[in-house]
Structure 1
Amino acid sequence: MGFEGNNCTTLIFTYGTLKRGFSNHVLLQDLMRTGDAVFKGTYQTVHNYPLVCGPYRVPFLLNMPGSGHRVTGELYAVSARGLDRVDELEGTSKGHYERRPILLMAGGNGNEEEEEEVAAEAYYAHKNFEKEMWMKNGGKGFRAYSEKEARGYVKRKDRPQNLSFLDHVNIFISSPSASA
């Protein structure tokens, strides 16, 4: 099966639950098995972006370049079919996330002069709530969604089913801040 992955033309940057070791990575594993995704490596954003947690410790990258940190994540090449599956998971048609361009560089190993920039796409929090999400997080983000940030993450199937994800986002944003 030497042809595997040659239809994987869209590069997507994963920074949260789609990464290896996190709950939604099963989707990418499934896509890799069918030749609809190829792991390209660990990458870091060229520019600073806020990476924050929303309700249920769900991670959000905010399309606010210049704030936050350079974010580390994983790069995958996906096929059109794979992209449809990831878009569905990320709720792009429901106003949860927006898939937009991002500039990356490999590894973040300190050799920035030699690093080549890679244009990819990332799933940002929908613009309808990104500024509120940034304020709710106290204008603080993190460099990577690690096990520490993911502690307390609640899988979709374990969340109250009577509310939509956007309902959860709105409740999170409008609730009084609790000390984390």
Structure 2
Amino acid sequence: MKIQVIYCFLFVFTLSCASKRVRKPQQQTPVQVAETAVAASLYLEEDVNPRSPAYGFEPFDVEQVDGFYEVFEFEAGYPFKNVVLAEEPVVTKSDIEKAKTGFDDYIGRPVINIELTEEGATKFEDLTEENIGKPIAIVIGKKVIMMPVVNEKIPGGRIQISGNFTLEEVKEMVKVLKSK
């Protein structure tokens, strides 16, 4: 019998940090980055190619630098289309204290574990608070690797990015995040 499992892309945050508020940069000019296709992350245990769009988010190319971006526009539902990101990321590589490869606790898929600086944690908390119900874009290596929808304000400084990644892809993304 086939079992359907719906995976949600989760951020896992375990540390809270008391930090000063950081002013949000002035309104940024939106940049149209892609007309792309992504799919709901629905996984049927058998008969699905794990690299197909139906398995999870399909990354797409952008010209933006690495970081976490506000998404100004997108066509709702799957697939996302006509995605418009902020010109600059809210959280940048300089806000990342540590990035390393890990494995999720449920089925052992490769994940990216990130620890933010105190300032980065505050920026990320503000970004999530201001974008509840909307996606944010995670750009690594000139690709939007994920656009999770924010469910609530996310305090703290630890993030886990999971998705349809191979171990080699995760190692490469961690390498990119560690380079300054």
Give the TM bin, normalised by the shorter chain: under 0.3
Q: Looking at secondary structure, tell me which structure has more strand per residue.
A: 2
After TM superposition, the score normalised by the length of structure 2 is: 0.26
Give TM-score, length-normalised by structure 1.
Answer: 0.26
Structure with the larger helix share: 1
